[in-house]
Amino acid sequence: MADPAECTIKVMCRFRPLNSSEVTRGDKYIPKFQGEDTVVIGGKPYMFDRVFQSNTTQEQVYNACAQKIVKDVLEGYNGTIFAYGQTSSGKTHTMEGNLHDTDSMGIIPRIVQDIFNYIYSMDENLEFHIKVSYFEIYLDKIRDLLDVSKTNLSVHEDKNRVPYVKGCTERFVCSPEEVMDTIDEGKSNRHVAVTNMNEHSSRSHSIFLINVKQENTQTEQKLSGKLYLVDLAGSEKVSKTGAEGAVLDEAKNINKSLSSLGNVISALAEGTAYIPYRDSKMTRILQDSLGGNCRTTIVICCSPSSYNEAETKSTLMFGQRAKTIKNTVTVNIELTAEQWKQKYEREKEKNKTLRNTITWLENELNRWRNGESVPVEEQFDKEKANAEVLALDNIINEKSASTPNVPGVRLTDVEKDKCEAELTKLYKQLDDKDEEINQQSQLVEKLKQQMLDQEELLASSRRDHENLQAELNRLQTENEASKEEVKEVLQALEELAVNYDQKSQEVEDKTKEFESISEELSQKSSILSSLDSELQKLKEMSNHQKKRVTEMMSSLLKDLAEIGIAVGSNDIKQHEGGSGLIDEEFTVARLYISKLKSEVKTMVKRCKQLEGIQSESNKKMDENEKELAACQLRISQHEAKIKSLTEYLQNVEQKKRQLEENVDSLNEELVKLSAQEKVHAMEKENEIQTANEVKEAVEKQIHSHREAHQKQISSLRDELDNKEKLITELQDLNQKIMLEQERLKVEHEKLKSTDQEKSRKLHELTVMQDRREQARQDLKGLEETVAKELQTLHNLRKLFVQDLATRVKKSAEMDSDDTGGSAAQKQKISFLENNLEQLTKVHKQLVRDNADLRCELPKLEKRLRATAERVKALESALKEAKENAARDRKRYQQEVDRIKEAVRAKNMARRGHSAQIAKPIRPGQPPVASPTHPNINRSGGGGFYQNSQPVAIRGGGSKPDKN
């Protein structure tokens, strides 16, 4: 490492122009600039390394802020550039801008171009390895923007206690295009949102890390430098941004992390002993940039609006505090074996001179202690000793520069060979030890990581086990509760069985009463119906007689009227012998009237038939009218189609005729031209032929062409007519087929609907039949059980009565033997009779309760079945939970075994194989890279290298042309 040097953090201030919302609101432009390093806000001056006004271009900002850091990074220093400010102050515009516009691109794309430009112009003996990472801090969690599956990365420290993000994607690049593709990919995954102050507000802190390693192939000197390009999210006032929901949570985390950054800046500016780097992940990552080994530039972005004056002053105060911080920067260099040897020799010589000085001082001290006086010439001179040490350093440096491999003492060739062999042996041992140490340290890190992973797996498995145990306990408690419920249900069933017997007896009594009442009612109803029928017959007879009387009276009146008319017309005079004629006329009139009646009846029947036929014909007429309307609609459609087709054909015919005329005119012109060519040829050949003959020949040829063309046109027209006829026939056939298809569709829909209706009715009937069968079976079973119970009770009653009768007989016989009898036996008989009556009552009550219980039994059986199903479901859930727990335990054990096997295989592979070396890509031979595919680089030989491996870039040569 080179000697450390102190440098302060550079702070640049940039003011953006007023945006459209501020202009419409009428905000004032408050900053006043004094020179290039001072701005005045509210009468107070603020001084920085550089102040950029609102009209400053992106290129000017880059040249002042970031151009020098590129050279520092390539010389082995660490660098950081980050933008700080309130929301909508222009931080993302300053750091990124428009990534693919040469005028408006920001610091990050310009710095990428400059890094490669510097590399192309450097010494060709240098090889560079560049890798980039891109991640964001969102809700205080580190999220990889190049691999969105990595959402919560952790911050660790390396062997030099420098923080780094563990597990983030590192992509090796060898051209600016690949870097820009990586930035585009990461930017598409970054969190943004819309607020009242900014349409594209960054909701996270983004960090783009460029790691440059270089090696001199001649001197084997290695340098490394890191460049952090940070775009911080802006501090927000919720009252101004109008953040709600998730955006509000994001604003809280942003303000919290920026507050932690302000606390770190304040602690560094005040020089306190404790610096709170660990308060947030952002300050933890930027620990080396703030007060560490890094050249840092802060760009504070401010709003010029009077609306944001308080936030602008706070930002300027932050910049003034940050300007007082000092970083200690050193070159990150890895010494070669030769340099370590030279350093050892130098330190050895210094040690030798210091020992000589110590012996000199000890001798002088002893002389003083012995009482001798040391003259001035022999006393130790400190300045002279320092001068000797410096001279010795210069001599060693000159020797090392001139002859680095020649030691200070003259040695023979044999000794030289021995020394060189010993040195090579020692260096080899040292390299082996270093390699072994590296391997062991890597193994330790991997084992630690595996231990952490195993601990996480164990913790997760414990949590799963606890959850499963809790679930198991819950299921057991539910099982116990269900068992209690089953017991209660059984007790209720027993009670209901007793009640069922009682209710069944009551039902039997009621049914008997109902049957007796229904028999009486049926008898009464039969008597009533007979009386009604007799009354109806009487009414019919009276009506019939009335009708006959009225008909007779009407017929008589008609006959009398006809007779009166006949008598009045013929001047019939009564005489004694005319009674026979009158009777004959009456009979004739009656016959005539009966004929008229029959004819009227036939006419009425005929009228009714005609009316039925007329209604049917009306229906048919309506149907025909509907069909006619549909046909007319189809005809109108077809006529419109035919009209459009005829118009189209006419247009086609016109176009065809025009084309034929054009063809004729072109043929005529062609013939004329050919004739003219023939004339010219004949004139040239000096053939004797007049122009009239040529014209006649030409006219004949034209006439023949016309005739052939007209014949061809007529034949084509005939063919066209035939085609048109064929088209019309096909159209008619197609129309018929379509009509038939529509008719078939309608019939199919009707059949389908009827089929569905029938299937629905069939389903309903089957359901009803099933229900009836089920009810019949239930009723039958209930009747059988009730009959059995009643039979058993009846048998018990018979046995009891028989036993009682036998006892009574025995007592009677005893009474007959004992003529007097005793009062005690009479009392016993009365007691037994009372008991019999009570037993009969109890039996009846039991029968009623049994009937009630029989009624309640289906409900209780249903509840019991539901409870049993619930118990089975709980048992299956318990069994499934146990199986899942066993499966998870087995999977966990398999995962542990797999991790062990993978670690063992990696260790074996590491021991058995040597390290891979990537092929360097140099600017003299520009890398053939695909800018659209950043993960693949092509070597000159056609091989492919994934970006997970390092690719070297060698300095020297000209910059590749951008085509």
- If one compares 618 and 4, the residue with the highest pLDDT of the two is 618
- The Cα 505–Cα 847 span in angstroms is 5
Contact (Cβ atoms closer than 8 angstroms) between residue 931 and residue 962: no
- Coil, helix or strand for 212? strand
Q: Alpha-carbon torsion 384, 390, 394, 397, what sign?
A: positive
Buried b (16+ CB within 10 A) or exposed e, 263-282: bbbebbbeeeeebebebbbb
| Cross-strand partners of 780 | none
| pLDDT for the residue 395 | 62
| pLDDT for the residue 963 | 35
| pLDDT for the residue 823 | 67
Q: Are strands 326-329 and 5-8 parallel, antiparallel or unpaired?
A: antiparallel
The answer, yes or no, to whether residue 948 has pLDDT greater than 80, is no
| Mean pLDDT, residues 699-706 | 77
- The Cα 469–Cα 752 span in angstroms is 58
- The Cα 111–Cα 118 span in angstroms is 10
Half-sphere exposure of residue 514: CA atoms within 13 angstroms, side-chain side: 6
Q: Which of 9-18, 395-404, 953-962 ranks highest by mean pLDDT?
A: 9-18
Per-residue confidence band for 737, with pLDDT thresholds at 50, 70 and 90: confident
Per-residue confidence band for 921, with pLDDT thresholds at 50, 70 and 90: very low
| pLDDT for the residue 369 | 82
Percent of the chain with pLDDT over 90: 9
| pLDDT for the residue 825 | 67
The answer, yes or no, to whether residue 715 has pLDDT greater than 70, is yes
Contact (Cβ atoms closer than 8 angstroms) between residue 408 and residue 344: no
Mean pLDDT of the chain: 77
Two tokens, residue 841: 């009552």
Kindly report the backbone phi and psi dihedral angles of residue 273, in degrees, each rounded to the nearest multiple of 5, phi listed first.
Answer: -75, -35
Contact (Cβ atoms closer than 8 angstroms) between residue 954 and residue 923: yes
| Mean pLDDT, residues 42-53 | 91
Angle at 179 between CA 176 and CA 180, to 5 degrees: 85
| pLDDT for the residue 644 | 79
CA separation (Å) from 776 to 330, 565, 825? 101, 80, 54
- If one compares 672 and 268, the residue with the highest pLDDT of the two is 268
- Coil, helix or strand for 345? helix
Instruction: Indicate the range of 108-122, 380-394, 490-504, 926-940 predicted with least confidence.
Output: 926-940
| Mean pLDDT, residues 759-772 | 75
Cβ-based neighbours of 439, under 8 Å, separated by 6 or more: 910
Q: Which of 246-255, 337-346, 694-703 ranks highest by mean pLDDT?
A: 337-346
The answer, yes or no, to whether residue 260 has pLDDT greater than 80, is yes
Contacts of residues 831-838 at CB distance under 8 Å and 24 or more positions apart, as own/partner, are 832/804, 832/807, 832/808, 836/800, 836/801, 836/804
The answer, yes or no, to whether residue 320 has pLDDT greater than 50, is yes
Instruction: Indicate the range of 11-25, 119-133, 329-343 predicted with least confidence.
Output: 329-343
| pLDDT for the residue 193 | 59
E strands, 394-467, in order: none
Q: Considering only CA atoms, which of 78, 104, 403, 399 is closest in space to residue 226?
A: 78
Contact (Cβ atoms closer than 8 angstroms) between residue 386 and residue 394: no
| Tens-place pLDDT, residues 408-450 | 345 577 777 777 788 778 767 776 776 787 678 778 878 888 8
| pLDDT for the residue 943 | 36
Buried b (16+ CB within 10 A) or exposed e, 737-757: eeeeeeeeeeeeeeeeeeeee
For the entire predicted model, the pTM comes to 0.43
Would you say how long the chain is, in residues? Answer: 963
Amino acid at residue number 405: N
Contact (Cβ atoms closer than 8 angstroms) between residue 110 and residue 62: yes
Per-residue confidence band for 962, with pLDDT thresholds at 50, 70 and 90: very low
Instruction: Indicate the range of 349-358, 442-451, 703-712 predicted with least confidence.
Output: 703-712
Instruction: Indicate the range of 48-62, 481-495, 506-520, 811-825 predicted with least confidence.
Output: 811-825
Place of tokens 């000199």: 360
Instruction: Indicate the range of 462-476, 651-665, 772-786 predicted with least confidence.
Output: 772-786
Buried b (16+ CB within 10 A) or exposed e, 351-372: eeeeeebeeeeeeeeeeeeeee
- The Cα 46–Cα 320 span in angstroms is 8
- If one compares 361 and 851, the residue with the highest pLDDT of the two is 361
Two tokens, residue 959: 């910059």
The answer, yes or no, to whether residue 282 has pLDDT greater than 60, is yes
- The Cα 369–Cα 365 span in angstroms is 6
| pLDDT for the residue 408 | 37
